[in-house]
Each structure stands twice: as structure tokens, then as C-alpha cells.
């Protein structure tokens, strides 16, 4: 991992949790002059951090800006590979497009593209994705698992489990997964996942997992047409959430469950997915590209396919659909 000196200084300030960090100690540890330490501190302040210099004691981090820069995410990160390279944008069209280009250019496993704002955020089925500036997590993760293309779709379910777990840990809310990959809180959508594949017939080159989490929006940030069906974590628990902490937790669980899946197959993921889901056992309407099916959701198969028992008694497997509960 290649951490810059500036990131190292910031990490030390964050980890000190309000206690002073000695300038001399930083200079000795990083093997640079006090003047260079001071220059890096100025640059950190320019990014919006407030640092107080206390005579004879050192530097205290007074407040951190609400941004999802690598400097903010990395100190919270507990992963081996995911998020060790982060490409950050204040604004971009879509992190998914940038990540797809980067993946084709050979970006390593675990590379993350993250933005404060997307001007052309993309959802499933070519829909647009509302990506309000500075209020959500809009990120795309490039992974290169050693699996064959037929299993790639299961990574959507791996991702849903990972994000659910991360939200639960950071907020104490109880999210539920609506098949295949919508995450709901109190029946409203808080997260969408868009998984895209770059592969040949028999080998996966990369999977790009696009994750959109509505974090700190007020209801008015959503277009009127989706105000009844969309929500944010802040609306649901009444508190601002630290977006960089949540992004780091999502990456942690994505790595954990991604590794679990590659090593042990879909079975353990299926159990986790089922424990969080709100689709199975319910009467649903599934709109696929070709037809609309109504019946009871029986469960998911070992491939992640949703099985529906129609009123006629016939059991049908659905690979991709919009589900209405
Ligand atoms: C859905 O339709 O539910 C999926 C939404 C996925 C949105 C995310 S935000 C980050 C990444 N960039 C995009 O343009 N889309 C995905």
C-alpha cells in the first residue's frame, strides 16, 4: 500500500482522538523536517480540517470535513486490498463509467472510484440514479475474483449482504434486502447496487460493483416521484452519519464476504442473504423484460435465482426483475 506522508500525518491526528500529536515526534517518525510537517499540516487544513497548535504539546485535530476523500476513508479502513487505491472526485458523471474504463486499463483488484456528486448516476435497467452532492456514498469497486462468468451475478447478492451488515453496524438500523439487490429500511429504498461484468466466455476479467447509499439527504432532496419509495439513513434514524466510516465498513464487509464466497461458494452467503431478506414468503409481483408474474416468493436457488410459485401452482425461476411487494 502506498500511503503519502500527508495521509500518514492525518492518520496520526485522527488516531490521537483529540490528544495533541507532537510535531517533533511526527518529524522523527516520518524522517522529514519540522518545516515539511508544517507544510503538510497547512495542506491538510486547506482540505477543510481544523487543526489547533498547542504550544509545547503539539497539534490537535479539532474537526474533520464531511467528505469521502481517501484521507478520510483510509484511517477507518480494515481491509487487505479493497479500497487501498481510491480515486476520488468532487463531481463526475458516473463513478461506474470511470471504474469501467479503469478496469479495462488494468486497475488492480480492490480499486475504488468514489465521488461527492454524480451528474449522470446510473441505475439498473438504464434508469437514472439521484446522486445529491455530499449526501451519499456513490462508489464503484473493481474486483477481480477467480470465478467463472456464470457465477458473477452472485456477487450482487454478496454485495447486498455486505452493505446490509455495514449499515446495521454503523447505524443500528435494521435494513432488509429485497431481491436481488435493493436495500430497504422500513420498506423504503436506501441503497441500490449495479453490478457490471467484464469477461470472456470462460474467465472474469473484472466485476464492477456500483454502490449508491442514500446517507444524509432530507426527504426534499428526492424527486417527488420517488419520495414515497426512497429514503436515507438520516431520515430513518434522525442523525447525520459519517459517510467515510460507512464507506470503509462497506469495503470491509465486501472483502470479507467476497473472500468467503470465493473460498466456500454461495452456500454461506445464501444463508446470510436469507437472514436479511424481506422477499421470501411474501406475495409478490415480478416484472421481467418479457412478462409480469404474480405469486409467492419461495426462495432463492443456489445460483441466486428467485423462485416464484404462481397461483396456477407452477414454479418459475426469475433471473432479473423488478419486484413489487
Ligand atoms: C439501482 O438501480 O438500484 C442501482 C443504483 C446504483 C447506483 C450507483 S452510485 C455509484 C455507481 N455509479 C453509478 O452511476 N451508479 C452506481
Q: What digits encode the pLDDT tens for the residues 10-38?
A: 989 988 989 999 999 999 999 999 999 99
Q: What is the whole-number distance in angstroms between the Cα of residue 94 and the centre of ligand 1?
A: 8
Euclidean distance between the first and the last CA atom of the chain, given in angstroms as a whole number: 45
Do 214 and 100 lie in one domain? The reply is yes
Do 142 and 266 lie in one domain? The reply is yes
pLDDT of residue 75: 84
Whether 2 shows a pLDDT value over 70: the answer reads: no
- In terms of Cβ atoms closer than 10 Å to its own Cβ (0-12, 13-18, 19+), residue 80 is exposed
Atom of ligand 1 nearest to the CA of 189: 3
Cα-based distances in Å from 26 to 1, 8, 62, 82, 197: 20, 9, 18, 28, 44
pLDDT of residue 200: 94
Do 137 and 47 lie in one domain? The reply is no
User: Would you place residue 102 in the very low, low, confident or very high pLDDT band (cuts 50, 70, 90)?
Assistant: very high
pLDDT of residue 126: 87
Counting every residue written for the chain, the total comes to: 325
Domain that holds residue 99: 70-276
Do 76 and 195 lie in one domain? The reply is yes
Atom of ligand 1 nearest to the CA of 125: 2
Do 126 and 252 lie in one domain? The reply is yes
Do 79 and 170 lie in one domain? The reply is yes
Atom 16 of ligand 1: nearest residue by CA position: 210
Q: What is the whole-number distance in angstroms between the Cα of residue 51 and the centre of ligand 1?
A: 35
Q: Which of 19, 46, 63 is the last residue of a domain?
A: 63
Cell 497547512: give the residue: 42
CA distance 121 to 130: 6
Q: Rounded mean pLDDT of the chain?
A: 94
Q: What is the whole-number distance in angstroms between the Cα of residue 122 and the centre of ligand 1?
A: 5
What are residue 166's phi and psi, to 5 degrees? -65, -45
Do 213 and 309 lie in one domain? The reply is no
Q: What is the whole-number distance in angstroms between the Cα of residue 315 and the centre of ligand 1?
A: 31
Do 51 and 74 lie in one domain? The reply is no
CA distance 119 to 91: 7
Atom of ligand 1 nearest to the CA of 121: 14
pLDDT of residue 304: 87
CA distance 58 to 52: 8
Q: What is the whole-number distance in angstroms between the Cα of residue 183 and the centre of ligand 1?
A: 13
CA distance 181 to 206: 19
Q: Which of 19, 45, 63 is the last residue of a domain?
A: 63
Q: Which of 101, 117, 121 to mutate to test the pocket of ligand 1 (most atoms within 8 A of CB)?
A: 121
Residue 140 beta carbon below 6 angstroms from any ligand 1 atom: yes
Whether 262 shows a pLDDT value over 60: the answer reads: yes
Q: What is the whole-number distance in angstroms between the Cα of residue 121 and the centre of ligand 1?
A: 6
Residue 304 beta carbon below 6 angstroms from any ligand 1 atom: no
- The percent of residues above 70 in pLDDT, for the chain, comes to 99
Compute the average pLDDT of residues 254-271. 96
Element (H or E) spanning 121, and its range?
none
Of 1-5, 23-27, 80-84, 217-221, the one with minimum mean pLDDT is 1-5
pLDDT of residue 12: 93
Helix 243-264, helix 154-171: angle, nearest 10: 140
CATH of the domain at 120: 3.30.930.10
Element (H or E) spanning 143, and its range?
strand 136-143
CA distance 247 to 137: 7
Do 187 and 296 lie in one domain? The reply is no
pLDDT of residue 293: 96
Whether 289 shows a pLDDT value over 90: the answer reads: no
Do 106 and 251 lie in one domain? The reply is yes
Atom of ligand 1 nearest to the CA of 191: 3
Q: What is the whole-number distance in angstroms between the Cα of residue 301 and the centre of ligand 1?
A: 25
CA distance 321 to 189: 16
CA distance 162 to 250: 6
What are residue 245's phi and psi, to 5 degrees? -65, -45
- Helices marked H in 91-242: 95-104, 154-171, 233-237
Compute the average pLDDT of residues 229-251. 97
Compute the average pLDDT of residues 210-227. 96
Q: How many domains does the chain have?
A: 3
- The percent of residues above 90 in pLDDT, for the chain, comes to 86
Compute the average pLDDT of residues 159-172. 97
Compute the average pLDDT of residues 144-164. 94
Residue 88's closest CA among 100, 73, 78, 101? 73
Q: Which of 63, 80, 107 is the last residue of a domain?
A: 63
User: Would you place residue 1 in the very low, low, confident or very high pLDDT band (cuts 50, 70, 90)?
Assistant: very low
Do 167 and 75 lie in one domain? The reply is yes
Q: What is the whole-number distance in angstroms between the Cα of residue 222 and the centre of ligand 1?
A: 15
Residue 192 beta carbon below 6 angstroms from any ligand 1 atom: yes
CATH of the domain at 15: 1.10.10.10
Q: Which of 89, 119, 123 to mutate to test the pocket of ligand 1 (most atoms within 8 A of CB)?
A: 123
- At residue 292, the 3 state secondary structure works out as strand
CATH of the domain at 292: 2.30.30.100
CA distance 108 to 74: 17
Do 29 and 135 lie in one domain? The reply is no
More confident residue, 230 or 319: 230
Amino acid at each position: 500500500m502506498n500511503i503519502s506522508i500527508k495521509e500518514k500525518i492525518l492518520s496520526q491526528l485522527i488516531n490521537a482522538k483529540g490528544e495533541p500529536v507532537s510535531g517533533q515526534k511526527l518529524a522523527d517518525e516520518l524522517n522529514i523536517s519540522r518545516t515539511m510537517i508544517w507544510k503538510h499540516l497547512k495542506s491538510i487544513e486547506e482540505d477543510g480540517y481544523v487543526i489547533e497548535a498547542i504550544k509545547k504539546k503539539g497539534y490537535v485535530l479539532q474537526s474533520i470535513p464531511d467528505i469521502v476523500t481517501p484521507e478520510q476513508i483510509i484511517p477507518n479502513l480494515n481491509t487487505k486490498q479493497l479500497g487501498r487505491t481510491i480515486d476520488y472526485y468532487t463531481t463526475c458523471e458516473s463513478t461506474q463509467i470511470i471504474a469501467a474504463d479503469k478496469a479495462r486499463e488494468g486497475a488492480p483488484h480492490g480499486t475504488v472510484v468514489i465521488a461527492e456528486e454524480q451528474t449522470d448516476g446510473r441505475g439498473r435497467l438504464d434508469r437514472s440514479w439521484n446522486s445529491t452532492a455530499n449526501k451519499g456514498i456513490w462508489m464503484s469497486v473493481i474486483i477481480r475474483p477467480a470465478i467463472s462468468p456464470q457465477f458473477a451475478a452472485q456477487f450482487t447478492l454478496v454485495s447486498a449482504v455486505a452493505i446490509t451488515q455495514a449499515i446495521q453496524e454503523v447505524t443500528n438500523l435494521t435494513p432488509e434486502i429485497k431481491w436481488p439487490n435493493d436495500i430497504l429500511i422500513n420498506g423504503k429504498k436506501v441503497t441500490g447496487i449495479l453490478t457490471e461484468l467484464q469477461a470472456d466466455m470462460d474467465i472474469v476479467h473484472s466485476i464492477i460493483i456500483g454502490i449508491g447509499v442514500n446517507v444524509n439527504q432530507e426527504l426534499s432532496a428526492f424527486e417527488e416521484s420517488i419520495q414515497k419509495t426512497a429514503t436515507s439513513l438520516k431520515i430513518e434514524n434522525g442523525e447525520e452519519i459519517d459517510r467515510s466510516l460507512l464507506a470503509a465498513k462497506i469495503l470491509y464487509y465486501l472483502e470479507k464476504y467476497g473472500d468467503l464466497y470465493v473460498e466456500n461458494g454461495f452456500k454461506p452467503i445464501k444463508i446470510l442473504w436469507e437472514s436479511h431478506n424481506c422477499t421470501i414468503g411474501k406475495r409478490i409481483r415480478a416484472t421481467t423484460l418479457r412478462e409480469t408474474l404474480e405469486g409467492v416468493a419461495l426462495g432463492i436457488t443456489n445460483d441466486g435465482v428467485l423462485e416464484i410459485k404462481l397461483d396456477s401452482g407452477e414454479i418459475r425461476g426469475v433471473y432479473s426483475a423488478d419486484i413489487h411487494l
